[in-house]
Structure 1
Amino acid sequence: MKIKLSCLSVAAVLMSLSATASAGADSLAQFHADMGSCESCHAKPIGKVADSETHENTQCKECHGGYEELANSELEFDPHSSHLGDINCSSCHKAHEQPVFKCNDCHSFDIESMPFADAKAKPAWDAEWDQDAIQKAIDKGPVETTDVIVVGAGSAGFNAAISAKMAGAKVILFEKAPYSGGNSMLAAGGFNAVMTPQQQKKGIKDSIDWFVEDAMKGGRYQNDESLVRIMAEESADGIKWLESLGANMDDLKRSGGARVERTHRPSGGASVGPHIIDTLRKAAKRENVDVRLNSRVEKLVLNDDKSIAGVVVHGKHSGYRMVAADSVVLATGGYGMNKEMIAYYRPTFADMTSSNNVTATGDGITLAKEIGASMTDIDWIQAHPTIGKDSRILISETVRGVGAIMVNTDGQRFISELTTRDRASDAILKQKDQYAWLVFDQQLVEKKKMVRGYDHLGMLSKANTVEELASITGMKDLPTTVTAYNGYQAKGKDEAFGREDMPLNLSKPPYYAVKVAPGIHHTMGGVAISDESEVLNLQSWPIPGLYAAGEVTGGVHGYNRLGGNAIADTVVFGRRAGAHAAAFAKDK
């Protein structure tokens, strides 16, 4: 007897799934068909699936429950409890082909095979850029029209789309991945903002000029100062904007290169990126922003006068089609996971690990260059000093800001922990083993929630005494270093390296250490933009209707970005790009 899948309990479904898989069902789709019919997952007409796979994923949750219901705290690793948030089930579970364990895009979890792991593997739907199909879509003309198209659903893209929608524009937000978030989802530090209520509450003296001076100094004075000043002047409004959408940005920390505490983040020590993306996802849904996943924009289409006519988008299920728009916002992120681009622009980084999301492949740069956009600082790439050695996991800069010390393999400090990223990376690479350790105690773990995640990932060495930690890690001089640092911290003066802020000593067991090394973190350059976020052509004139924000752009950070300025960049310039794009569409 066939039973409609939605009538089964979660337990029954899981038991049946396991039994059917072991009995030889060739795919998840076949399992569902055997249990009921294709309508267990699909709406009629069967075979017409939206690129975002919204209906199918709703069916998954109606039957199996949401991630909270599926979470299993007894497992050593629970794939349904992830910093990625409430993403599509089909991100991993493929109905008609081999499943894909998305966590291992960044991690290296040793897990048992997923159900139907023996299903036939298929080439990725977006593996190629089919120029003939792109041209046919252009020749056919637009099949849909909107006011504003936003390309890329990270923080910059969501902020642009929400801002444009609130300004009265009809907006479509395209994202090539099966879930939103981009690199912003991985952000662990915070949002640098100046003259906020949070700073005032703590009595922190700060100014827009100080923010600008710190960013310019960090960027080796190669930043576009006008853009930096805009970011500083609108940073407090950016915090207020996020809070109005539901974010908590009450905690304050100090990041490297900043003269005061101005890095805003959620209270309780949660990572800032997942929190902001979760807030923006919910806000976009409330504002009825049309967010389409599995939709890669592959061409910017121009009118005869070189103004924006629209885009060609390649949908996972809908194929190639042209969508007309009055304006387009590029918010596609950088190229930190495009090995060819990295090897071309910065050959010395070609073999370096990367902390970037796999979606950071430089699509927006390619799209813009194809229509004659100008680039700025395109060959500058930032190496982050503290990526977990032999991994792609970023150890947040705020771990040092909260109180960790950084030592070499002998256990000796060699630089101020609060220096800029480029100087810290250079200093690590000059050590004999070209890696370092971050060392901290239980006090930091209690203040910094994300550190527990590093422990969960098996990245931390742990001991009951400093001497025991030194023995475990081979850092023979660590006890002497910790004693000296605790003395500096008690006196409020780092006599060794001039660290200006030492909020914690190292005195509360257990003691921890994590091995770190530099890796690709942020691509500094990209599309050249005006103060109004307009993309500039090779003659430095705006391309009418084309805007950009976030890591796809250059000029904001110069040759080196300060920690906490990326989120500020995406929020401030994302909002500005969306507002300007909406105004352009309205006036056209």
Structure 2
Amino acid sequence: MKTSMLRKTVLAALVSACMAGTAYAQADYLADFHTEMGGCENCHASEKGPTDDNLKYENTQCVSCHGDLKEVAANDPKDIVSPHASHLIGDIACTACHKGHEKSVAYCDACHSFGYDMPFQGKWKRTFVPVNADKQAQDAAIAAGPTESTDVVVIGSGGAGLAAAVAARNHHASVILLEKEPIPGGNSKLAAGGMNAAETKVQAKLGIKDKKEIMIADTMKGGHEKNDSQLVKVLANNSSDSIDWLMSMGADMNDVGRMGGASVNRAHRPTGGAGVGAEVTQILWDAAVQRGTDIRFNSRVVRILEAGGKVTGVLVQGARTGYYVIKTDAVVLATGGFAKNNERVAKFDPKLKGFAATNHPGATGDGLDVATQAGAATRDLQYIQAHPTYSPVGGVMVTEAVRGNGAILINRDGKRFVNEITTRDKASAAILAQKGASAYLVFDNSVRKSLSKIENYIHLHIVEQGATLADLAKEMGVPAKNLEASVASYNKFVKSGKDDQYGRPDMPRELNHGPYYAIEVKPAVHHTMGGVVIDTKGEVKDTKGNIIKGLYAAGEVTGGVHGANRLGGNAISDIVTFGRIAGTDAAVFAEKESK
């Protein structure tokens, strides 16, 4: 029987079993149901169960019966948001949601709020576990000594970690990449707006005049001059090289727009305005895999081992393999921030207590704890950014590029109230001051056509629509007269080239092409600016200002690059540039140590 026919047969059998109320309905777990169709070999290589933390064999078995994500998505009910039509990168990890011997959990529910109904479902819950929670067992594993060795260990599979892994492999270092989550990409895969870079070939081709000095000035101003100016110079001066590096590997970064706080169009993204994060992380993932990187999921680093101010290894907690030690000369910490850990967020900024977060579920701050246990110094932890346009309906961040391409913010009175492309902290404060502490992003069909990312929001059913502004106002529940007047006033500003009301510096188009759209938005915790202290090589410093030899860091786990407030588009630039630097320097350091 052909594979496609077999898959259809299996799916039909599952549906029939469900409707008949047979073993499917009576089973408590997915494994019980599969047992009705055969033995443990349906899912596992042996009766002993999973043999590796990646669950590669189990995931392959899922695909062999049910098909890949695209095939499964085609069979999802058409009246729901398909959880299989996702933005995930890398290899398929069916077991991230579909558990065998415990209740299945929709991983998407950690971010989204669409009420997925799946077989054998439990309730999503993620409890933060301190990295030293099982100290006795950890100490025993350390005492037992290393079970393997490598030149470089990279912790985290977001953009910074993947960039570091690729750079280290380019310098012929052996690399083990460890990720505590069951899937790769971190927050990076969620990024949508763009990657800031100055003096690029793409800008030149589009006739955009920019200077690295302007990017430096914009970044320092956006960060309220709290940034480490030397790190900012590295960010800007290497930004165009980072774009070239990505494009040399096949990335499409040919669309350039503007994000809040930028003086010039410098946010690079795929043609048509598709999400930049999925593009960059997929390119880096492919490059890391092609270069033979040893990538391990469900593998949490709970301790960085060091002696005499120098890294000697890492202690890993594998979901299936337990504790084990990897001997290494260099570690790149790329674990991201802690926005998803609201208890910690509220500790540093009490006014954010109870806020939702735009981050992936793994952004809990483990890496920061591991680094400080190893003696790393920290800075700027009190600076935490709320993204102004989070959809409370869908549980997703709406990219700043929607505003950058022309959308305006409207309150419940149907009125505009702020310069839409001001910095994120100011936009968030303005929205919170409105009735209901939320607002609406309003745009027309020309904005929709200018940014393909908007199609994702329509797919997620978070967009209201009206043939006319009056129709849209009815859907929004705002006075039609006020909305029409607000849009008409804005269109006049576009024609004159000057926003006399709120001083918006860039107004790319009038909003006069129906149909019209609106997305309800409110601020949510988005980025933690603080983290470990690094120098311009990505080397981590201890509390006395000395370098911890062999320890490097990149991305959101570090502090200093963004100051008190990050500009939109600077995060992807940060992770690619500093990830590449950290990976290269780690490889060079490891090579020297081996001689």
Would you say same fold, with TM above 0.5? Answer: yes
Please say if 1:576 is aligned against 2:581: yes
* Whole-angstrom CA distance in 1 between matches of 2:358 and 2:525: 6
1:179-258 correspondence to structure 2 within 5 Å: 179-258=183-262
Which is further off, 389-398 or 168-177? 389-398
Partner in structure 2 of residue 52 of structure 1: 54
CA RMSD of aligned residues (A): 2.3
Please say if 1:13 is aligned against 2:7: no
* Whole-angstrom CA distance in 1 between matches of 2:78 and 2:4: 27
User: What amino acid sits opposite 1:481 in the alignment?
Assistant: S
* Whole-angstrom CA distance in 2 between matches of 1:174 and 1:125: 18
* Whole-angstrom CA distance in 1 between matches of 2:233 and 2:105: 44
Partner in structure 1 of residue 301 of structure 2: 297
Deviation at 1:232, TM superposition (A): 0.6
Partner in structure 1 of residue 570 of structure 2: 565
Instruction: Describe the SS at the equivalent of 2:437.
Output: coil
CA deviations over 1:188-207 (Å, ceiling 9, x no partner): 11100111111001111111
Please say if 1:307 is aligned against 2:304: no
Q: Kindly tell me: are residues 148 and 389 of structure 1, through their superposed partners in 2, closer, same or farther at Cα, counting changes over 3 Å? A: same
Please say if 1:286 is aligned against 2:285: no
Partner in structure 2 of residue 464 of structure 1: 467
* Whole-angstrom CA distance in 2 between matches of 1:362 and 1:421: 22
Instruction: Describe the SS at the equivalent of 2:388.
Output: strand
CA deviations over 1:491-543 (Å, ceiling 9, x no partner): 22222222221112111111111111111110010100011101100111110
CA deviations over 1:377-402 (Å, ceiling 9, x no partner): 01110111111246531111000000
User: What amino acid sits opposite 2:10 in the alignment?
Assistant: V
Please say if 1:423 is aligned against 2:426: yes
Contact 1:144 1:323 in 2 (8 A): yes
Which is further off, 7-16 or 212-221? 7-16
Report % sequence identity.
47
Deviation at 1:464, TM superposition (A): 1.3
Q: Kindly tell me: are residues 124 and 467 of structure 1, through their superposed partners in 2, closer, same or farther at Cα, counting changes over 3 Å? A: closer
Partner in structure 2 of residue 65 of structure 1: 67
Contact 2:158 2:184 in 1 (8 A): yes
CA deviations over 1:24-57 (Å, ceiling 9, x no partner): 3443323434433323322247435100011221
Q: Kindly tell me: are residues 429 and 246 of structure 1, through their superposed partners in 2, closer, same or farther at Cα, counting changes over 3 Å? A: same
User: What amino acid sits opposite 1:167 in the alignment?
Assistant: H
Instruction: Describe the SS at the equivalent of 1:158.
Output: helix
CA deviations over 1:94-140 (Å, ceiling 9, x no partner): 1222111111111112333x22338x999999798311111111111
Partner in structure 1 of residue 24 of structure 2: 22
Deviation at 1:309, TM superposition (A): 0.9
Deviation at 1:15, TM superposition (A): 3.0
* Whole-angstrom CA distance in 1 between matches of 2:448 and 2:356: 26
Deviation at 1:437, TM superposition (A): 1.4
Unmatched runs of 5 consecutive residues or more in structure 2: none
Deviation at 1:358, TM superposition (A): 0.9
Q: Kindly tell me: are residues 135 and 5 of structure 1, through their superposed partners in 2, closer, same or farther at Cα, counting changes over 3 Å? A: farther
CA deviations over 1:395-431 (Å, ceiling 9, x no partner): 1100000000112221222221111111111222223
User: What amino acid sits opposite 1:192 in the alignment?
Assistant: N
Normalised by the size of structure 2, how large is the TM-score? 0.94
Partner in structure 2 of residue 408 of structure 1: 411
* Whole-angstrom CA distance in 2 between matches of 1:98 and 1:352: 28
Contact 2:339 2:345 in 1 (8 A): yes
Partner in structure 2 of residue 98 of structure 1: 103
* Whole-angstrom CA distance in 1 between matches of 2:567 and 2:439: 20
User: What amino acid sits opposite 2:213 in the alignment?
Assistant: D
Please say if 1:452 is aligned against 2:455: yes
* Whole-angstrom CA distance in 2 between matches of 1:121 and 1:464: 38
Partner in structure 2 of residue 117 of structure 1: 121
Contact 2:106 2:116 in 1 (8 A): no
Work out which of the residue numbers 320, 325, 332 in structure 2 matches 1:322. Answer: 325
Q: Kindly tell me: are residues 422 and 472 of structure 1, through their superposed partners in 2, closer, same or farther at Cα, counting changes over 3 Å? A: same
Please say if 1:336 is aligned against 2:370: no
* Whole-angstrom CA distance in 2 between matches of 1:123 and 1:450: 29
Which is further off, 553-562 or 40-49? 40-49
Report how many aligned residue pairs link the two structures: 582
* Whole-angstrom CA distance in 2 between matches of 1:82 and 1:130: 35
* Whole-angstrom CA distance in 2 between matches of 1:306 and 1:290: 27
Please say if 1:511 is aligned against 2:516: yes
Deviation at 1:229, TM superposition (A): 0.6
User: What amino acid sits opposite 1:117 in the alignment?
Assistant: Q
Contact 1:332 1:552 in 2 (8 A): yes
* Whole-angstrom CA distance in 2 between matches of 1:355 and 1:159: 22
* Whole-angstrom CA distance in 2 between matches of 1:13 and 1:555: 53
Contact 1:410 1:474 in 2 (8 A): no
Contact 2:59 2:92 in 1 (8 A): no
Partner in structure 1 of residue 41 of structure 2: 39
Deviation at 1:62, TM superposition (A): 2.1
Which is further off, 337-346 or 125-134? 125-134
Partner in structure 2 of residue 361 of structure 1: 364
* Whole-angstrom CA distance in 1 between matches of 2:430 and 2:421: 13
User: What amino acid sits opposite 2:199 in the alignment?
Assistant: M
* Whole-angstrom CA distance in 2 between matches of 1:44 and 1:5: 26
Please say if 1:539 is aligned against 2:544: yes
Which is further off, 222-231 or 28-37? 28-37
Deviation at 1:347, TM superposition (A): 1.2
Instruction: Describe the SS at the equivalent of 1:385.
Output: strand
Partner in structure 2 of residue 172 of structure 1: 176
Instruction: Describe the SS at the equivalent of 1:210.
Output: helix
Deviation at 1:215, TM superposition (A): 0.2
* Whole-angstrom CA distance in 1 between matches of 2:398 and 2:23: 39
User: What amino acid sits opposite 1:394 in the alignment?
Assistant: M
Instruction: Describe the SS at the equivalent of 2:548.
Output: strand
* Whole-angstrom CA distance in 2 between matches of 1:525 and 1:496: 35
User: What amino acid sits opposite 1:175 in the alignment?
Assistant: E
